[in-house]
Chains A and B, each alone.
Chain A
Amino acid sequence: MKQITAIIADDEENLRMGLILLLERLWPELKILGQAQNGMEALSLIELEKPDIAFLDIQMPGMTGIAVAKKVPNACKIVFITAYDQFAVQAFESEAVDYILKPLTRKRLETTLERLKKQLGEKAQPLEFDLKIKKIIQVLENKDVPEYLRLIKVKTGSDIRFVPVSQVLYFKAEDKYTIVQTASNEFLIKTPIKELENNLDPKHFWRVHRSAIVNIERIQAIKRSFTNQMIIGFDQTTHHIAVSRSYEHLFKQM
């Protein structure tokens, strides 16, 4: 019978060594062809050695374990080992041969190895395995999408700064630019108001004018001008923003 082979990829050496020692004990016949300490190394190692099994950490430098898994030929069985995404693990724990949570336990690894042996013995059902992997990759990728903009990248001279959105009083369109106003500074960015509106957390940032979005956490007072227009004043500054009539209803209950 052909000897079964594997590779191990994890950026932390202690964890690679720990896994190798465990595998030596639990599955002495398994041959470890090599180790990788980042995603790129893992991919080239798999392409070079063509192992039956790849144990992949997900959070690796350069390239994530998920990205590696997507490029690996179908014949290679993937086992993800990660401290992340406990929810995905819960969802797949029952059926997955391919997803183990850190800290790695001997018992959980034994179960995985049993399933792997079975899978590799029956060549008939690789399709089912691939479907599972694809489902898991899908879940993991969706969880990775950030919800809202939290830092605004701005240029000041030759410098690049990242402004936390909580420091922003308001965004205001001006010509081709958008002004980012904080209590102490004013920056210009090229992102249009419309795009910002879609990317900012609507719990904190409200569009109050065709050309303005305000941080409602920073509002100090709302007044009416002598022409009866609503005017928003902000903490610690003399800056103010006019509310257009069509957005006044937002503040009616305040």
Chain B
Amino acid sequence: MKPFKSKDIIYSFIITAIFNTLIAIVLTYMVLDEHHFFDVFIISQLMGLSICLCVNIAVHFTNGNNWNLAANVTGLVIGIFMGCLLSWGFLSLLRGNDFTYFFKNVFSSVFVFGIVFGVPISYFFSSREKIFESEKLIQKEKIKRLTMEKEAAMTSLRLLQAQIEPHFLFNTLSNVISLFDIDIEKAKQMLIDINEYLRISLLRTRQEMITLAQELDLTRKYLEIFKIRMKDRLTYEINDKTNKSDLAFPPLIIQPLVENSIKYGIEPDVSGGTITIDCRIKENFLEIVITDTGKGLDHDADKAGIGINNVSQRLENIYGSDASLILRQNHPRGIKAIIQVPL
């Protein structure tokens, strides 16, 4: 049922009454003689307001959508008959005319005028309503589209920021500058690694899906850069047991978790540690386990949590409730992140 908006309905009755008055004036002074103004005015009002009432009721009960034309016509017809009936009552009961007087002298012209004026006026109201509704719809669509565009832009911005963390760049470039004085070959190698890492990540951020092999490649580059920086404080291992080179996988799932492991687990730990990435197929799922032997999350849980929540939300956006991310304490120390996505 169409919601009842009393303001609109009262408004339509007022407009109708104004039309009725104009019709009565035109009819009295241009067609009939002026002695009948009162009667014509009352009948005109009875007819017009009946039509208005019936059309409003009909539209209200038919949802105002596909049935709009049928509802309008039905309302109009019932309204005209109701107007005739009321006019008959008015003339015979209140104006003291004979009961047959109305049918003999007035009915046909009232009926005709009802149709002649009722149809265009009803049409005026219904088209006005339609314009109104479609304007609202356009507005709604616009808001929806803008919201979606904004969200998409925010997501890609967040992705970009996640991928190239500024401190990672500053620290890495610092290393390159130092290495130019110490070991030119290593400096070159590091620049090559950074270049490849940036190229892959900047291009991939725009893609919804890449392959698991590509994501592991990117992660390996990232770990290589840290290996030059941290030397033997960091060791890593990537074991891909899926035996498939073309498994579809979203970018920015593994790398941010590895980044967290380094930043909050291994880098702040005096003795350093190891990162292990295991990928395998388990029934209908692809399972990726990222384990670090760092200092765990007891101190930096909330800083580390920003990236983890981002990854969790990303998985949900892509896979709905079919994917999962579980984070648990590793034994004897560190963190284990278990990702499962459907194949």
Contacts and interface: CB of A to CB of B under 8 A. Distances in A.
A247 interface: no
Interface in B293-343: 297-298, 301-306, 308-309, 312-313, 321, 324-329, 335
B327 to A, nearest CB: 4
A150 B312 CA distance: 12
B171 A102 contact: yes
Interface of B: 167, 170-171, 173-179, 181-182, 186, 228-231, 233, 267-270, 272, 297-298, 301-306, 308-309, 312-313, 321, 324-329, 335
Nearest to B337: A162
A83 B178 CA distance: 14
B303 to A, nearest CB: 5
A104 B321 contact: no
A189 interface: no
Nearest to B272: A61
B327 A163 contact: yes
Nearest to A12: B229
Contacts of A165: 305, 309
Most buried by A among B181, B182, B272: B181
Given A83-B167, A160-B328, A161-B328, A151 B178 contact: no
A27 interface: no
Given A15-B175, A151-B305, A166 B312 contact: yes
A150 B175 contact: no
Contact of B305 (A11, A62, A164): A164
A101 B177 CA distance: 13
A18 B170 contact: no
Nearest to A147: B302
Nearest to A158: B331
3 closest cross-chain pairs (CB), A and B: A18-B178, A150-B305, A83-B170
Nearest to A166: B309
B267 A11 contact: yes
A213 to B, nearest CB: 17
Contact of B177 (A59, A103, A148, A150): A103
Interface of A: 11-15, 17-19, 21-22, 38, 40, 59-62, 83-84, 101-104, 146-151, 153, 159-167, 183-184, 236
Contact of B325 (A84, A164, A236): A164
Given A14-B228, A149-B302, A160 B270 contact: no
A152 to B, nearest CB: 9
B337 to A, nearest CB: 9
B308 to A, nearest CB: 5
Contacts of B303: 146, 150
* Chain B contact residues, majority secondary structure: helix
A29 to B, nearest CB: 20
A167 B309 CA distance: 8
A146 B170 contact: no
Contact of A236 (B228, B305, B321, B329): B321
Contact of A162 (B167, B182, B230, B297): B297
Given A83-B167, A162-B327, A151 B297 contact: yes
A167 to B, nearest CB: 6
A159 B327 contact: no
B270 A62 contact: yes
B312 to A, nearest CB: 4
A167 B312 contact: yes
Nearest to A22: B181
Contacts of B167: 83-84
A160 B174 contact: no
B302 A161 contact: no
A82 to B, nearest CB: 9
Contacts of A22: 181
B301 A40 contact: no
A21 B302 contact: no
Nearest to A165: B309
Nearest to B178: A18
A84 B327 CA distance: 27
Contacts of A160: 328-329
A151 B304 contact: yes
B174 A161 contact: no
A149 B176 CA distance: 36
Nearest to A61: B270
Most buried by B among A22, A102, A149: A102
B328 A103 contact: no
Contact of B329 (A38, A40, A161, A167): A161
15 contacts: A12-B171, A15-B174, A18-B174, A59-B268, A61-B272, A101-B170, A102-B171, A104-B177, A150-B305, A153-B301, A162-B301, A164-B305, A164-B308, A164-B312, A165-B305
